[in-house]
Every structure is written in C-alpha cells, then in structure tokens.
Amino acid sequence: MVTVQLIVGQSDIDDQISALMRESTTLKDEKRMHAAVACLYKAKTLMLESPFVYTAEKWCKLPLYLQQAGMFSESMHEFQFLLDDLPRRVRRDTSLDDPNVDTLSRKQKRYKRLLDDDTKTIEAKRALAKKRQEKRVKP
C-alpha cells in the first residue's frame, strides 16, 4: 500500500512538470515570457527531485526561454548548470550505481553514450541561444 502511494506521488510530480511545461509554452505564445520563465523555474525544481528521466531538450527549455526573455546572463548560467549537473543526472538515469540493474559494462556504455549525446545537445542549444542573442543586440 505504501508503494502504491509512492508511485502515485511520483506520477503526480511528473504530471505537474508536464503541466508547467505546457503552461510555459502557452505563456510564451501570449508573449508573457517572464511568466513562462517562472513556470519553467518551478518545473526545474520538480525535475531535480523527480525520479523520472527527462531529455536534454526538456532541460534546455528554461535557458532558451531566459535568453528569449532578455535574460542572457541567466540563460548562460542555466546552460552551465546543466553541463555541470549532467554527470549526476546521467549516472542516476542509467542506474550506474545500482548493482541490481543490468551489467556494469553495459551501464557504463549507456552512461558514456548518454553523457556524450546530452553534452552535444546542451552545447548546441547554448550555441543557438548565443546566435539569437547576437541578432538581438545588433543595430
């Protein structure tokens, strides 16, 4: 019974994150970028606590919105956080430390592949934000 309640609680967190992500998109479409960013900060807090795996693209939504909201410095800070925190997230997402999940060599291969892929994705999104910013500041 306790396990069922825990699973429901975890699912609720994921539902909240999904709702916040959708709301941020709606707010962006309405040109309410600061409200959209506030939703994404809430989503980030929940994602950090969540047991679920989130794609690099989903993690990059906050820094991209920050740049679009005119908060370039904060955007770059968030991208750096994503890169710095990536090993911890990938380690958890690949169950690298759990001896009951798969073989160590297979987990290590998945860890390296996911770390490399997510690093490339984050770097590409950061480059996109920088390119957009350059266009914003040109006369």
71 and 28 in a common domain: no
Predicted confidence (pLDDT) per residue in 17-47, tens digit: 999 999 999 999 999 999 999 999 999 999 9
83 and 116 in a common domain: yes
Phi–psi pair at 133, nearest 5 degrees: -65, -40
| Residue 66 near residue 78, CB atoms below 8 Å | yes
Number of structural domains in the chain: 2
**Which pLDDT score is estimated for 139?**
64
In terms of Cα–Cα distance, which of 76, 85, 86 is closest to 125? Answer: 76
Predicted confidence (pLDDT) per residue in 96-128, tens digit: 888 888 999 999 999 999 999 999 999 999 999
39 and 71 in a common domain: no
Confidence band (pLDDT; 50, 70, 90) for 134? very high
42 and 86 in a common domain: no
Tokens standing for residue 139: 């006369």
**Which pLDDT score is estimated for 2?**
32
113 and 63 in a common domain: yes
Confidence band (pLDDT; 50, 70, 90) for 9? low
| 112: amino acid identity, one letter | K
Mean pLDDT, the chain, rounded, equals: 91
Please give the residue range of the domain that contains residue 14. 1-52
- Which of residues 32, 52, 72 is at a domain's end? 52
133 and 65 in a common domain: yes
Q: What is the DSSP string of 79-105?
A: HHHHHHHHHHHHHHHTTTT-TTSS-HH
